[in-house]
Amino acid sequence: MPEAFRVSVPASSANLGPGFDAIGLALDLWARATVRPAASFAIEFAPGKHAPTNPGFANEILRGLDRVLGGPRPPVTILVENAIPLGKGLGASAAGAVLGLSIGARLAAAPPGEALLAHYATDLEGHPDNALPALLGGIVVAAQRHNAAPAYLRFAPPPALRAVVVTPHIVLPTAAARALLPAVYERRDVVFNVQRAALLAASLASGDLGPLRTATGDRIHQPYRAPLVPGFEAMLELQLPGLLAVALSGAGPSVLALVSSDDERIGAALQAEFAREAIESDVYLLAISTRGAHAEPHE
């Protein structure tokens, strides 16, 4: 194998209101793995606030690694340092899978290209909206295709756009959040979302952020999940300088604000809505990462 190297993968926020399973962006919050030659294979986690307490995150990394290598795991030690809150709607499972894919690509005799990695990542995650921003960085609009690589466009975020993420100290498993959604929707709600998803993609791609408040409206998933995120509906109504839009991050319970200024004030306002519901929370003031998964030598 090559000498020691380090792989970094960003967190991500998906859906962004109407872009259910289709639109996501990378956040400047990272999971990193240092890979070194060893006598046998091992994966370890550095202590920290977001170190996993169950095998789920390690299993995502191993799934990605095995998908690329397709054979015995090499004699390396993988030490993971994770800063992404787990189970909070910030793409931790996608980051784990992409971390494994990226390690495998670095170790493989014939490294897979971007298109194949995108296919693997989407297949492992089940949908492209977290997987592809973690892999590619920036903002990604994607469509999944049955048994084929996803079709997607990746573009850099508008320079003025930043993210404020508020993560409440409550649990909302993604599977449980998805189970809340109805099997059938009324036509008017589908039309509402199609209009706004198209406008959201156009706004982000063009850099014209004026329509974002309208463009992040949603009737497909947020109304059904909102009761499990106390304070979220009040956050949707906030009108503050620099606040462009508010949405659940992924399936929640984290809330994402897209902002152009006043990050700290907006973060405090969102946090205050959780506090009114007697819920503690953490605030992250983040750039939208233009970098996705990447590897570099490590001493």
* Cα–Cα dist 288/26, whole Å: 6
Helix (H), strand (E) at residue 284 = strand 281-287
Give the pLDDT confidence score for residue 2 in this predicted structure.
64
Instruction: Look at residues 146, 113, 149, 147 and name the one whose alpha carbon lies nearest to residue 131.
Output: 149
pLDDT band, residue 1 (cuts 50/70/90): low
CA 47-268-25 angle, to 5 degrees, is: 65
* Strands 243-248 vs 162-168: parallel, antiparallel or unpaired: unpaired
Instruction: Look at residues 142, 103, 143, 97 and name the one whose alpha carbon lies nearest to residue 120.
Output: 97
Give the pLDDT confidence score for residue 145 in this predicted structure.
85
* Cα–Cα dist 244/224, whole Å: 23
Average pLDDT along the chain:
96
- pLDDT over 90, % of the chain: 92
Give the pLDDT confidence score for residue 48 in this predicted structure.
93
From residue 222, how far is each of 139, 149, 165, 217 by CA, in Å?
21, 28, 16, 9
Tokens of 185: 């929707």
For the chain, list the domains and their CATH numbers: 5-156+288-297 (3.30.230.10), 162-287 (3.30.70.890)
Q: φ, ψ for residue 6 (rounded to 5)?
A: -125, 135
Residues 6+ away with beta carbon under 8 Å from 159: 207
Does the pLDDT at position 128 exceed 70? yes
Query: Looking at residues 135-155, what average pLDDT do you find?
Result: 94
Query: Looking at residues 216-239, what average pLDDT do you find?
Result: 96
Query: Looking at residues 249-257, what average pLDDT do you find?
Result: 96
* Cα–Cα dist 263/255, whole Å: 14
Q: φ, ψ for residue 133 (rounded to 5)?
A: -60, -40
Give the pLDDT confidence score for residue 71 in this predicted structure.
86
- The predicted-structure confidence for 103-122, as pLDDT tens digits, reads as follows 999 999 999 999 999 999 99
pLDDT band, residue 76 (cuts 50/70/90): very high
Give the pLDDT confidence score for residue 176 in this predicted structure.
81
pLDDT band, residue 299 (cuts 50/70/90): confident
Give the Cβ contact number of residue 117 at 10 Å.
25
Would you say 212 and 243 are in contact if contact means Cβ atoms under 8 Å apart? no
Count of all residues that appear for the chain in the document: 299
pLDDT band, residue 260 (cuts 50/70/90): very high
Helix (H), strand (E) at residue 192 = helix 187-206
Picking from 29-38, 130-139, 142-151, 258-267, which range would have the lowest pLDDT averaged per residue?
142-151
Query: Looking at residues 163-180, what average pLDDT do you find?
Result: 89
Helix (H), strand (E) at residue 76 = strand 76-82
Token pair 């995150």 in the structure block, residue: 57
Query: Which segments within 93-250 are labelled E, that is strand?
Result: 139-145, 148-155, 162-168, 243-248
